[in-house]
Amino acid sequence: MTEWWRDLDDAVLACLGDNRAMAPGDIGRSIGMSEDAVISLLAMLAHERKIRICLVECHPTIRGRRHQAA
């Protein structure tokens, strides 16, 4: 892992220290990244089992829509 990636991981993990839950947008504002970039980074950290993603919800623009399985 390059030092650049390690620094990003460390920044996110520092935000989540002491079992603190945060929204991706809040993490992004805290470390100077876009929410989309943080979401991507969170997915990688979850894949590496460094974090757990415990709660997900529909985006507000699609809440209430009914989706059918393909």
User: Residue 66 pLDDT more than 80?
Assistant: no
User: Residue 67 pLDDT more than 80?
Assistant: no
Domain residues of the chain, as ranges? Answer: 3-47
Question: Is residue 28 a contact partner of residue 41, using CB atoms and an 8 Å limit?
Answer: no
* One-letter amino acid of 33: M
pLDDT digits (tens, 9 = 90+) for 17-56: 877 889 999 999 999 999 999 999 999 999 999 999 988 8
Categorize the per-residue pLDDT at 1 as very low, low, confident or very high, splitting at 50, 70 and 90: low
What is the reported pTM?
A: 0.78
Instruction: Indicate the helix (H) or strand (E) that contains 14.
Output: helix 3-15
